[in-house]
A and B are shown apart, each in its own frame.
Chain A
């Protein structure tokens, strides 16, 4: 069964540094998403992406965040200047319509 793959599985970065989290969605899917889960908290929606543009974003997704589909297969989340509170598990998801298929996540630790 096709899967959403995310790399790296764990990323440690210093506060203020830029990070790029990478995702390869399922190949025939057209809708792409990022969610995050701060330790001990709910999984939260960050952003949805369709037809090469953001279709919706949450209040969390401020100017420090950006998403890109640089080629036909990858979908990336960039955090420009990381803060301690960005430490979380970040999940990429894709769908043809519904339901969402999630990757295994990238655990981001900001020190």
Chain B
């Protein structure tokens, strides 16, 4: 299966710790998106990359959040000094430039205790 993959699938951490998530998009896709989803809500946009360039960041992305896509392939999302309010499902999606459909990974579920 060459779909979008995310690692880890689940992460439990204590408040104040740093966490890093990884996303591997579909290989030929040059656009990569991060979304966050809380219970009972739809996914909310966090940031996106076109190749290695980070083109847009949501106001939801506080300065504790940073995302990278160093070689235009996989991406990482780091959360520093986690807070309980960061508990959510973090979804990654990818698409071809100009294509309307986004392909989502299985998500990383984060629980901050």
- Do A and B pair up? The answer is no
Contact surface of A with B, Cβ cutoff 8 Å: none
Contact surface of B with A, Cβ cutoff 8 Å: none
